[in-house]
Amino acid sequence: MQAPADIHVDLRGVSLVYGEDDDQTLALDRLTLQVERGEFVAVVGPSGCGKSTLMKLVTGLLAPDGGSVFIDGKRVDGPVRNVGMAFQNSTLMPWRTTLDNVMLPFEIVKPHKHKLRTLRAQYEERARKTLEEVGLIEFAHKYPWELSGGMQQRANVCRALVHEPRLLMLDEPFGALDAFTREELWVMTQRLWLEHRFSAMLVTHDLREAVFLADRVIVLSRRPGRVVLDRRIDIPRPRSVAGTYDPVFGEIVQEIHSKIVEART
């Protein structure tokens, strides 16, 4: 079955089992999920429901035991190219400056790594522009230990986006930050998405974050993970942090929260 042209990520009846023989755990069970091109989807659910496993399946870091994963209509059979990834913990290399960290995808991702020697000035200019977009250009030559946690996560997002991936995967990227810094990075991420319109999948435990950023919020059941709610978020963009305290926003968060509580039982 061919996926429609506007479908970017397509999981069809995907199951995944951890362990072997008598010590097996069914992490995901016949999960079906689609992400449209340019859509921002958040995935939430109880701890251990398979959210991070889902991310690994989409990026080809894990192969499903049942069903299939497709990106741009092509079956995923290994690590997926042209994907940006940002995680909860900073993965910046401590011996590299902010600029050099952001330049890393150009060194390892095709076709950029074959062009870097001759086009270094152009790639460096692109990295600087990306840092400027998130307010880090003044810290281009600082090392990670000289940056705050929020600055490090801004740099992480820059590195994930600098090579202009069509798909951005965010696995709890702001979970370790204080509330005010998280909110600042929500606004930054929304602005970058509105400007570049990449497809995005976000795994988070923060329901305000999910509703603020996403076009749709997917709720997974407790293990084995299944989709129990697919909630479209119709709040107009751009969204503001102040708007997260509006009654309509709060009602959506409460609806999703209630479904997660139900999914845990």
In this prediction, what percent of the chain has a pLDDT beyond 70?
Answer: 97
Higher local confidence (pLDDT), 113 or 127: 127
For 163-210, how does the pLDDT look when each residue is reduced to its tens digit (9 = 90+)? 889 999 999 888 888 999 999 999 999 999 999 999 999 999 999 999
Query: Using 50, 70 and 90 to split pLDDT, how confident is the model at 4?
Result: low
| Strands of 7-20's sheet in order across | 23-36, 7-20, 66-71, 74-75
Look at residue 137 in the predicted model and tell me its pLDDT: 95
132 has a pLDDT exceeding 70: yes
233 has a pLDDT exceeding 80: yes
- List the beta bridge partners of residue 15: 66
2 has a pLDDT exceeding 70: no
Look at residue 25 in the predicted model and tell me its pLDDT: 87
Of 65, 31, 33, residue with least CA distance to 49: 31
Question: Using an 8 Å Cβ cutoff, are 103 and 126 in contact?
Answer: no
Higher local confidence (pLDDT), 66 or 86: 66
Query: Using 50, 70 and 90 to split pLDDT, how confident is the model at 119?
Result: confident
90 has a pLDDT exceeding 90: no
- List the beta bridge partners of residue 17: 26
Higher local confidence (pLDDT), 9 or 50: 9
Look at residue 189 in the predicted model and tell me its pLDDT: 94
Backbone region of residue 132 per phi and psi (left: phi > 0; alpha: psi in -120 to 50; beta: other values): alpha
Place of tokens 């929304």: 190
Look at residue 118 in the predicted model and tell me its pLDDT: 86
Look at residue 62 in the predicted model and tell me its pLDDT: 92
Tokens of 249: 């926003």
Place of tokens 């995808």: 105
Look at residue 210 in the predicted model and tell me its pLDDT: 97
Rounded mean pLDDT of the chain? 91
Question: Using an 8 Å Cβ cutoff, are 191 and 208 in contact?
Answer: no
Tokens of 143: 């090392």
Query: Using 50, 70 and 90 to split pLDDT, how confident is the model at 109?
Result: confident
* Domains in the chain: boundaries: 92-165
Over range 119-123, report the average pLDDT. Answer: 89
The three state secondary structure string of the chain is CCCCCCEEEEEEEEEEEEEECCEEEEEEEEEEEEEECCCEEEEECCCCCCHHHHHHHHCCCCCCCEEEEEECCEECCCCCCCEEEEECCCCCCCCCCHHHHHHHHHHHCCCHHHHHHHHHHHHHHHHHHHHHHCCCHHHCCCCHHHCCHHHHHHHHHHHHHCCCCCEEEEECCCCCCCHHHHHHHHHHHHHHHHHHCCEEEEECCCHHHHHHHCCEEEEECCCCECEEEEEECCCCCCCCCHHHHCHHHHHHHHHHHHHHHHHHC
d(CA 225, CA 45): 9
